[in-house]
Amino acid sequence: MSEYKTFSADEAMAFADKHSELFGDHSKLTAKEFGDGNLNLVFRVENDKGTSLIVKQALPYARCVGESWPLTTDRARIEAEVLKMHHRFCPGHTVEVRYFDPVACAILMEDLKAYRILRTELNAGKKFNHLAPQMAKYLANTLFYTSDFVLSSEHKKAEVARFLNPELCLITEDLFFTDPYCNHERNNIEPAILEKAKTLWHDEALKAEVAALKADFLSKPQALLHGDLHSGSIFIDEENCKVIDAEFGFYGPIGFDVGSLLGNLLLNYIACPGLHQAEDAAEQQAYLLQQAEQLWQHFSQTFTELMSRETQDPALDNSLYQRRFLQQVFSDAIGYAGCELIRRTVGLAHVADLDSISDAGKRADCQRLALKLGRELIMQRGELSNISQLQTLVRYQHTS
Ligand code: SR1
Ligand code: MG
């Protein structure tokens, strides 16, 4: 019986060749490992005509830390199954999985080599008007069609069980909701903002709200989430965007996926003065706030239409309840966006938006603003009733 073994480039090539009709003459194949993510091996397998596929293999540990942080390889199954499910409900904006091998814990998938990573593009000051409408479509469809509005009670419970993903959820539970609010050794805090970061550890009002958000993350299985929808999990070109990297997927609160993306738009907004000249920064910030607005408007409009047209459970087919449901998703999303701002500034896993700001003084200013805005979002999430109030809150934040 075969067993798990980490792929070499040649083994990844043989795997891709065996499970795809795409390549034809396999003697002309090449393979290269180019992954720079936190967890996995990623190979591009290509023939001499430029046809290529990606082989992604889960390592038995977290790549960014090393073998001292063991991690289940079952995350490859979760990732393949979430991507397949999301592709079913939003094929235009989800990467296509071609084959999954449960022994090698490896996924063969579409290569998006003509696309670029959204975070890199935003950091370079690029603007894409299709980003928000397309991601709203992805979010509304994948989350609605895996929710109680559509699935029978029995089927939904079986799906919740199939996607439990306890080890990867624990990472999010720790990194999002616990570490930033205490003196944890995993935290990564720049000395210039240490005093500001320490205020989080003793902010009982804030910690109570973060506890409520964590409790929902632990116990609100509303839909099959992507679970890690930051701007490094989105590939984009001039016309389209596609979501990758769903290994953190599980049944959780809908606002978590919406809020993770919203939070990443806001992180980039905050970093703009450190990344660009003043005039370009102002333009990029206006673009990002407009995308944040469109993301919520398109998402809520599509989700509302789906609820009114496609709800299967007669008890949930009530427009008053549906409006209340969406308002709660809005408030959850703002809270999770706030947590994303904070954990990406002082936690283990930072983002290049802030870290790549070369001027140390500006970088510290942006980081302080991320902590301040993150706190406001978490604290005020219940009082904000629409997206323009959120825009106003963001525009009037200044470090103090
Ligand atoms: C150890 S994993 C750190 C982070 O990388 C992933 O992309 C998730 O965002 C996770 O929190
Ligand atoms: Mg990832």
ipTM field: 0.98
Report whether CATH 3.50.4.10 matches the domain 116-399: no
Cβ of 171 closer than 6 Å to ligand 1, yes or no, is yes
Question: Known binder of ligand: residue 386?
Answer: no
Q: Which atom of ligand 1 is nearest to the CA of 233?
A: 7
Q: What angle do CA 276, 277, 278 make, to 5 degrees?
A: 115
Pick the CATH number of 9-110 from 3.30.200.20, 1.10.3720.10, 2.60.40.10, 3.50.50.60: 3.30.200.20
Q: What gap in Å lies between CA 395 and CA 372, rounded to an integer?
A: 13
For 74-92, how does the pLDDT look when each residue is reduced to its tens digit (9 = 90+)?
A: 999 999 999 999 999 999 9
Copy the structure tokens of residue 196: 């500001």
Ramachandran assignment for 105, one of left (phi > 0), alpha (psi -120 to 50 degrees), beta (any other): left
Give the type of residue at 166. Answer: P
Q: What is the pLDDT of residues 325-376, one digit of tens each?
A: 999 999 999 999 999 999 999 999 999 999 999 999 999 999 999 999 999 9
What is the per-residue pLDDT for 26? 67
Q: Is the pTM of this model over 0.80?
A: yes
Q: What's the CA-to-centroid distance between 317 and ligand 2, angstroms?
A: 36
233 CA → ligand 2 middle, Å = 6
- Tell me the sheet residues that pair with 116: 236
Per domain, the residue ranges of the chain are: 9-110, 116-399
Angle separating helix axes 360-380 and 194-201, nearest 10 degrees: 20
Kindly report, residue by residue over 174-216, the tens digit of the pLDDT: 999 999 999 999 999 999 999 999 999 999 999 999 999 999 9
- If one residue of 38, 69, 257, 350 were mutated to test the ligand 1 pocket, choosing by the most ligand atoms within 8 A of its CB, it would be 38
Nearest bound ligand to CA 180?
1
Q: 147-168: per-residue pLDDT in tens?
A: 999 999 999 999 999 999 999 9
The predicted model gives 104-113 an average pLDDT of 98
State if residue 38 touches ligand 1 by the CB under 6 angstroms criterion.
Answer: yes
Ligand 2 center from residue 260 Cα (angstroms)? 13
List the residue whose alpha carbon is closest to atom 2 of ligand 1. 38
